[in-house]
Amino acid sequence: MKTVNDKLWLWCHQAGSHNYIKQIGGQSRITPADALSYMGIPNSIMVTFGGLPEPPLLPHAHGLAGADKLVWSIVGDSSSKRNDSSSDLEEVIGLSRTCSNLSGAIMDDFFHKPDVNGAISRYSVEQLTYFAERLHTAVPPLDLWVVLYAHDLELPLAPLLAPCDVVTFWSWTAAELPNLPDNLAKARALAPGKRLELGCYMWDYGTGTEMSVESMRWQCERGLALLKTGEIDGMIMLASCICDLNLPAVEWTRRWVAQVGRQTLA
């Protein structure tokens, strides 16, 4: 029988990745592995941020050997400029030979407003299809994950989501959270049959302000209800690199995970 813990993920960046955000306060030093332990979350999504970590990735993966499941980015955040022209696909597939817990590869900050050529994504449908084929034929097979924001929903994304296995959905600001039911329905319509993961920010990055405990509670309680009905496949807490700063939303989430993690799911 699956438990809530089996469906919880921590979005991870290299230690100190968000120290440039002065509003957060303090200097975080916590590693992804230590953040997993501190939060009591068993599964890790490790994402390149600001171009870090750089290949080779294997030395950075050793610390996450204790995660139950591991997903690694092949396209990092929008400031990871090397991934605009070259993915980390082969590096991540190479990790699967050593990292028995590796189960997938994710593309962050993937969609954008139409550029001068009309493109709305960092890679084309044809390239995504290739990514999926390479991942699915790896040993063991790996899933292709992608990030989808609420502000992406009006774009014609269905062909770009079709090669993906897992869609992670994010409300960029806390003010967007009340629209979550409608937005999730739109995401499902764009990506029918795909596994859907709910992204939960522990800091309001969209406004550069603290995530209130009330908003954090709303995200987690709504996510738990959706998990229990099978409407989502998991929940992702973001991010590891703020977990040692004594932020109220982070500390509330930690207690919530301890309270609900062992509950069983049908």
pLDDT in tens, 64-74: 999 999 999 99
Give how far the C-alpha of residue 121 lies from the chain's centroid of Cα atoms, to the nearest Å.
17
pLDDT at 192: 98
pLDDT in tens, 174-207: 999 999 999 999 999 999 999 999 999 999 999 9
> Where do the H-state alpha helices sit in the chain?
32-39, 58-61, 82-85, 89-95, 125-136, 158-161, 180-190, 213-229, 248-260
pLDDT at 85: 95
For residue 54, pLDDT beyond 90: yes
For residue 221, pLDDT beyond 90: yes
Select from 227, 215, 249, 196 the least CA-distant residue to 39: 249
Instruction: Sketch out the chain's domains with CATH numbers.
Output: 5-260 (3.20.20.80)
CA distance 207 to 87: 29
CB neighbours of 19 closer than 8 A, spacing ≥ 6?
Answer: 27, 28, 241
pLDDT in tens, 90-143: 999 999 999 999 999 999 999 999 999 999 999 999 999 999 999 999 999 999
CA distance 248 to 215: 11
How many separate helices (H) and strands (E) can be counted in the chain?
A: 9, 10
Mean pLDDT of the chain: 98
pLDDT in tens, 148-160: 999 999 999 999 9
Select from 56, 49, 20, 7 the least CA-distant residue to 32: 49
Determine the 3-state secondary structure of 26 from DSSP: coil
pLDDT at 266: 84
Q: Which residue has the tokens 């994010």?
A: 170
CA distance 159 to 193: 14
Burial of 117 (0-12, 13-18, 19+ CB in 10 A): exposed
Q: How far is CA 204 from CA 25, 93, 213, in A?
A: 14, 33, 11
pLDDT in tens, 250-260: 999 999 999 99
Q: Which residue has the tokens 């139950």?
A: 68
